[in-house]
Structure 1
Amino acid sequence: MLVDNKILPVLVIHDQKKAIDLAKCLYDSGIRNIEIALRTDSAKKSVDNIVNSQIPMNVGIGTILTIDDLIFAKQVGANFGLSPSADAPIIKKSIELDFNFIPGISTPTDISLAITYGINKLKFFPAENLGGMDYLNTINSPFKHLNLKYVVLGGINQTNFIKYIKSDNIIGVGGSWIAEEKLIKNNNWNEISVRAKKFLELSV
């Protein structure tokens, strides 16, 4: 679902005209996976711009809160989608659509719901607020034999991401620290590139 590396920049884009320049900057810096959060009026158009560009980016859509969001993700050609919660109707619809969907979990109950539908890739959110890897390892322990994999988001930054990257259970580490909103707003592609390269190097 994620390719080449575990780094997953979360992008909050307020101007769709910046989307392609941003994606190109990240791709040229070694980033292969991005999550575009559906939190702005420009988010859906930004996804469309990137998916239909010549940039071979692995595009994910985040903040999927409704079935309509899920249908949009499938129809626009996104590679995967993520939600902050485990919502049964959305999970069912993702299976019906044959779409790579990663529901959010924060408790063993959430995990149980997801695996009932055959989902084995989950979003642990909000990771740091809940206790980080110690908490995740604890709630995952009853399910360890199922070899579940996690994308972690929430409170992760340049100082704490390394502990997640090194875990075999983690397939993706997401956050906005590589391409912060203010950097995107100011077209600071150089700083975004520097950060992307730095954290890719640290994650090896």
Structure 2
Amino acid sequence: MNIRDIMRASPVMPVIVLDRVEDAVPLARALVAGGIRVLEVTLRTAAGLASVKAIAAEVPEAIVGVGTVTRPEQFAEAKAAGAVFAVTPGLTEELALAAKAAGISLLPGVMTPSEVIAALGWGFDAMKLFPAEQAGGLGMLKAMNGPFAEVLFCPTGGVTLESAPKFLALPNVACVGGSWLVPKDKIAAGEWHIVTQLAREAAALK
């Protein structure tokens, strides 16, 4: 799938950190039930890649990708596990080339105008502003829209249910990344109905 289509499929892209593979499928089903189909499963834990594989196999309605990709070989591993997109916290030429070689859609992380220019040079016009709040938040995105009107952003880092609508109202923002949909205590307790309710609130955002 094209990364811009993926970004527009849900107003919020949950940033998912899983410690147990067995939580992956019920969590994905709970999010999809609430109207959130795009799922970024981070590779911050040992359960990440296996969780992607489980979701891809058992929750076909989900658009599952990997996040926190920092090493070139992870793109091919993610593609083999069934991921359709990848998200990085930053971008190097090595990562850009590896993503293209793996044939996986990439949402690269940027924080500064120089990094946006570099990403454009490598052929990317959709990017993750990360960490969004620390990078200047709404003000930074408004400023970026002048010289980089062709770039579509997904601000991630410090975004909340309350601040998300302000980001989504900007012309250069397609979606936001957020971890508030997937609270670790609710996942650990298996309280999937609460995750579905959080997803429903997020899916209603404009």
Match of 1:65 in 2: 70
Deviation at 1:140, TM superposition (A): 4.0
Deviation at 1:108, TM superposition (A): 0.9
- What letter corresponds to residue 164 of structure 1 in structure 2? F
CA distances 1:3-24 after superposition (whole Å, capped 9, x unpaired):
5322111111111001111111
Match of 1:189 in 2: 192
Mean Cα deviation higher: 192-201 or 104-113: 192-201
Q: Closer, same or farther in 2 for the Cα pair 1:54/1:104, shift >3 Å?
A: closer
Matched, 1:155 2:158: yes
With the length of structure 2 as denominator, give the TM-score of the two structures.
0.92
Deviation at 1:136, TM superposition (A): 2.0
Alignment of 1:17-166 (within 5 A): 17-144=22-149, 147-166=150-169
CA distances 1:49-92 after superposition (whole Å, capped 9, x unpaired):
00111432011210000012112122222111000001111101
- What letter corresponds to residue 50 of structure 1 in structure 2? I
With the length of structure 1 as denominator, give the TM-score of the two structures.
0.93
Deviation at 1:168, TM superposition (A): 2.4
Mean Cα deviation higher: 1-10 or 122-131: 1-10
In 2, the alpha carbon distance for the partners of 1:96 and 1:90 equals 10
* Runs of 5+ consecutive residues of structure 2 not aligned to the other structure: none
In 2, the alpha carbon distance for the partners of 1:140 and 1:107 equals 13
SS in 1 for 2:161: coil
- What letter corresponds to residue 52 of structure 2 in structure 1? V
- What letter corresponds to residue 162 of structure 1 in structure 2? P
In 2, the alpha carbon distance for the partners of 1:148 and 1:73 equals 25
SS in 2 for 1:142: coil
In 2, the alpha carbon distance for the partners of 1:40 and 1:96 equals 25
- What letter corresponds to residue 16 of structure 1 in structure 2? V
Kept after mapping to 2: 8 A contact 1:104/1:122: yes
Matched, 1:198 2:201: yes
Equivalenced residue count is: 201
Identity level (%) = 28
* Runs of 5+ consecutive residues of structure 1 not aligned to the other structure: none
